[in-house]
Amino acid sequence: MSALKEAVLTYVKNEYLEADDDREVTYDTPLISSGIVDSFSMVSLKVFLETTYSISIPDAKATPEAFDSVNNIAVLLKEFGINE
Amino acid sequence: MFSPEIRTSYQQQLGDMQSQGIFKQERVICSPQDADIEAVFPIGSEMKHVINMCANNYLGLSSHPEVIAAAHAGLDSHGYGMSSVRFICGTQDIHKELEKKLTEFLGTEDTILFPSCMDANGGVFEAVLGEQDVMIADRLVHASIVDGMRLAKAQQDTYKHSDMAHLEQKLQLHQDKRARLIITDGSFSMDGDLAKLDQIVELAEKYNAMVFLDDSHASGFIGKTGRGTHEHCGVLGRIDIITTTLGKALGGASGGCVSGRRELVEMCRQKARPYLFSNTVPPVVAAGAIRVIDLISSTTERRDKLEKSTQWWREGLTKAGLIIKAGETPIVPVMLFNAKLSQDFARDLYDLGIYAVGFFFPVVPKAQARIRTQISAAHEMHHLEKALDAFTKVGEKYGILGLTKAEIIAKYGE
């Protein structure tokens, strides 16, 4: 288990799932393309990553593809020197 | 150059939209906007008389004789167009009069007109916020707000729809910013529910935040005297920015406004780009809208009728065994959950003389397909009875009356 992925997964569940939403979300669950996170609410995820890891993600890198799963987010964070 | 390759590329994109079922087709109306309309759909077919159940004509003022007469008079006295933006030579006495009347009606300090509420929402955030500030928006706000936020330099954040605990978390998170702006619709256009504006104002005061309210689907009829969601929630005078439209209940023509704290409105006059670089609201529209505000300020008759009709319609659909989104606004979504079912249902309604539109992903979330009905003070009881009869007949045809959400999804899929 990766602490980083677990932290992101926990955030995603708390931030985006309603209390009665029993969908299973794992590291490779599509977030954007499944509709769990839309392009508008994706900004919250970006704010979380930037605040938590003290980084600034340029808009060019904050793409729906880069945010589409916890695994993809971990790959993105690696670019900023944040490793699992 | 528009090369053959480029043309093919666009044709493929449009073809994809058609195959995905998201290609929009216009219905052509050959009569004034009203409860009874003459429509042609699809284009090329015969004109058909239908009852309109999907207009934003909440107060039935779009074709009201007094509004039409006032618009005629305005056309004669003030001309057809101004050929100018507001601040060069596009401001007439009637624009100032309309702004004053909107300020009084909405219970604010000042108002500035925009060509549309889309433009008001497109310009207001950039005009009043800077990069040291944060915008915290309900996730179901209107698309024009989303676009306006994207144009602003302030940081963006969102909270779960109407989730006050989540909003409070976000306000705590952003205490380090210079200014915080909570952003919400008053009446949410797809679900027809109302913002918890009293709680939002309390949180704003607790965490030193301003409140932005888009009341486009509420101005004129929500609240005891139709002032809007802020009246309904008992927070008149405590909203910092209200945007609303003249294109729905308030005559339905066009135009919108930013109304609120004097300094914020003045910032829009100085900096809001859709105000600075777009033509003034046509004189004929300003004159008609003034009459609308006078009409709804003198009597609550129309909003009272709308309230009663809405209650009847909501109860009727529920008794018939259809699932609706709970609420109290005249936006009444009939939930069908399956995209194809929503399209088939709407087509069958049209065949029975009822015009309503099915919505599905990505306009609404997946498995939330619906037909959105909108009640108007122009609807008489015979319109509503005919519409309810048609909804019941089509519901019977598809065997969904009395079924739960899970049962409808089991039958038709998500």
CA angle B213, B142, B339 (to 5 degrees): 145
Q: What is the mean pLDDT of residues B290-314?
A: 98
pLDDT (0 to 100) of residue A1: 64
**Candidate from B157, B365, B366 with C-beta closest to A47:** B157
* B28-85 tens-digit pLDDT: 999 999 999 999 988 888 999 999 999 999 999 999 999 999 999 999 999 999 999 9
* B80-112 tens-digit pLDDT: 999 999 999 999 999 999 999 999 999 999 999
Q: Which residues contact B6 (CB under 8 A, 6 or more apart)?
A: none
By CA distance, what is B365's nearest residue in A? A35
Query: How far is it, in rounded angstroms, from Cα B137 to Cα B183?
Result: 4
Spans of all domains in chain B: 22-52+301-412, 65-298
B65-298 has which CATH code?
Answer: 3.40.640.10
* B216-263 tens-digit pLDDT: 999 999 999 999 999 999 999 999 999 999 999 999 999 999 999 999
Q: Shortest CA distance to B184 belongs to which of B163, B205, B165?
A: B163
DSSP annotation string for B291-320: HHHHHHHH--HHHHHHHHHHHHHHHHHHHH
pLDDT (0 to 100) of residue A71: 94
pLDDT (0 to 100) of residue B62: 97
Does 3.90.1150.10 match the CATH number of domain B22-52+301-412? yes
Radius of gyration in angstroms for the set of CA atoms belonging to chain B, rounded to a whole number: 22
Query: How far is it, in rounded angstroms, from Cα B259 to Cα B243?
Result: 6
**Candidate from A18, A35, A43 with C-beta closest to B156:** A43
Q: Do B139 and A41 touch (CB under 8 A)?
A: yes
Q: In this structure, which CATH number among 3.30.300.20, 1.10.1200.10, 3.30.70.20, 1.10.1760.20 belongs to the domain A3-79?
A: 1.10.1200.10
* B163-172 tens-digit pLDDT: 999 999 999 9
Q: Shortest CA distance to B174 belongs to which of B155, B161, B152?
A: B155
Q: What is the mean pLDDT of residues B136-165?
A: 96
* B349-396 tens-digit pLDDT: 999 999 999 998 878 888 899 999 999 999 999 999 999 999 999 999
Residue A41 pLDDT > 70, yes or no?
Answer: yes
Q: What is the mean pLDDT of residues B341-349?
A: 95
User: To the nearest whole angstrom, how far is the Cα of A41 from the nearest Cα of chain B?
Assistant: 6
Q: What is the mean pLDDT of residues A36-54?
A: 90
Window 15-54 of A: residues touching B by CB (8 A cutoff) are 15-16, 18, 34-35, 38, 40-41, 43-44, 47, 51
Query: How far is it, in rounded angstroms, from Cα A78 to Cα A45?
Result: 16
Interface confidence (ipTM) of the complex: 0.85
**Candidate from A35, A40, A51 with C-beta closest to B366:** A35
Asked if B148 contacts B287 with a C-beta cutoff of 8 angstroms, the reply is no
